[in-house]
Amino acid sequence: MSLCETLGRIQPPNRRLLEQAQSRLDRLTKPLGSLGRLEELAAQYVRISGELKPSVPRGMAVTFAADHGVTIEGVSAYPREVTAQMVLNFLRGGAGVNVLARHAGIAVRVVDIGVAYEFGQVPELIQKKIMWGTKNLLLEPAMSREQAEQAVTVGMEMATIASQEGIGLIGTGDMGIGNTTPSAAITSAMTGLPVDAVTGRGTGIDDAGHARKVSVIQRALDLHRPDRADALDVLRKVGGLEIGGLAGLILGAAAARIPIVLDGFIAGAAALIAVGLQPLCRDYLIASHRSVERGHQAILDHLHLKPLLDLGLRLGEGTGACLGMSLVSAAIKIYMEMATFGEAGVSEKG
C-alpha cells in the first residue's frame, strides 16, 4: 500500500466507544477515578481498537537500526561500529529491550533499515536496508526524497505484518549511533524551537562535544532550510532511516487501528514526522515515558502527549515502550476483569 493510500485510511478513533468504556470504568468497585491513568489508558485502548470488550493484546516492539553519516563530526561518544554490534546483541537476546520485552511478554522484531554493515544471512534479522547509513547532513541532505519515502514505507509494511499476525499493541524501538543529532534537528525544524533548547548529550558527550553537536545541527538547518510544512522534506534533509521507519510504523499502525506506544526521544522525532504527514495519527499515540534527553519534553508538549513514566531513561531500543506496553495490558485487565458494583453486590457511594 502506498504512503498516500495509508494516509487516507487513517480515521479519527470512535469517541462514542470512549464514553461507553468510561461508563464501565465508573461502575467498577472503586472510588470514581481512583485508578487514575490506568483508567485513561483502558478507555483510550477501547477507543483506538474499536473493541468495547477487548482481550489483552499481543504486543510487539519493532526496533529499526541505521547508521548516520554525521557521526564523523564527533557528535557521539560511541563509534559507528556499535550500531551493528548492538543489532547482533538484540538478536542474541542480550540487550535491555530484550530483557524488558521478556518481562512484559512482548515479541521483539529487529529491522536493518540502514546499518553500514553487511550482516549476511542472519536468522531473525529483517533485512530492509535502503542505504549504508545516511549521508553527512552537515554537508548534504541525509538522503533523497525517494529514500525517505522508502524508509516510511518499510515502517508501514512492518505495521501491516504485525496486524496480519494478530498483534494488538505496537511499541517503537531504535538503534543508531549518532541518532540524537538528526532527532534534535527534526525537533527544532518541526517545533520551531532553538537548537540549543532541544539538543541533549545523547550517549554522554562532554561540554565540548555538546557545543559541537549544537553547532553541527544549527549549521545543517541553516544550509538545508527544511520545510516544516513538508515532513518528508524535513526527514530527507536532516533525518535518519530508522526515524523514517518509525514514522511509517506509526502511520501503518494508525491505519490498522492499533495503538502505538512511543519510546523516547528518537521515537518522538519520528512521531513529529508522522503527525506532520497525517495529523489524525496523533490520537493513536501513547507516550511511554519522558526521556532525560532535553528535546523530548518539547516533543511531548508539541504533540500534547502526557507520558506514563518518568524514570530517567535515555537508552532507546524500545525499553521504555516495553514498560509502557506492560501498563497498557494492566489497564485492560482492570477494565475487563474487575467487577462492577452490581456484579459484586457491593453498595455504591450514597
What pLDDT does residue 350 have?
66
Nearest partner of 75 among 224, 206, 197, judged by Cα = 206
The H helix count followed by the E strand count for the chain is 15, 6
Amino acid at 8: G
Pairwise CA distance, residues 72 & 79, whole Å:
9
What is residue 347's predicted lDDT score, i.e. its pLDDT? 80
Which residue reads 519520528 in cell numbers?
A: 270
Output the tens digit of pLDDT for each of the chain's 350 residues: 799 999 999 999 988 999 999 999 999 999 999 999 999 999 999 999 999 999 999 999 999 999 999 999 999 989 999 999 999 999 999 999 999 999 999 999 999 999 999 999 999 999 999 999 999 999 999 999 999 999 999 999 999 999 999 999 999 999 999 999 999 999 999 999 999 999 998 878 898 889 999 999 999 999 999 999 999 999 999 999 999 999 999 999 999 999 999 999 999 999 999 999 999 999 999 999 999 999 999 999 999 999 999 999 999 999 999 999 999 999 999 999 999 988 888 888 76
Indicate if 317 belongs to the active site: yes
**DSSP annotation of 133:** S
Ordered domains of the chain (ranges, CATH):
3-54+335-344 (1.10.1610.10), 58-327 (3.40.50.10210)
Q: Which of 39, 149, 157, 317 is catalytic?
A: 317
Task: Report the C-alpha gap between 162 and 348 in whole angstroms.
Answer: 42
Residue 183 sits at the vertex; the CA angle it makes with 182 and 189, to the nearest 5 degrees, is 85
**CA dist., res. 328 & res. 338, Å (int):** 15
C-alpha cell at 270: 519520528
Place of cell 524551537: 193
Global pTM reads 0.96
Using DSSP, state whether 168 is helix, strand or coil.
Answer: strand
Calpha distance 1→177 (Å, rounded): 31
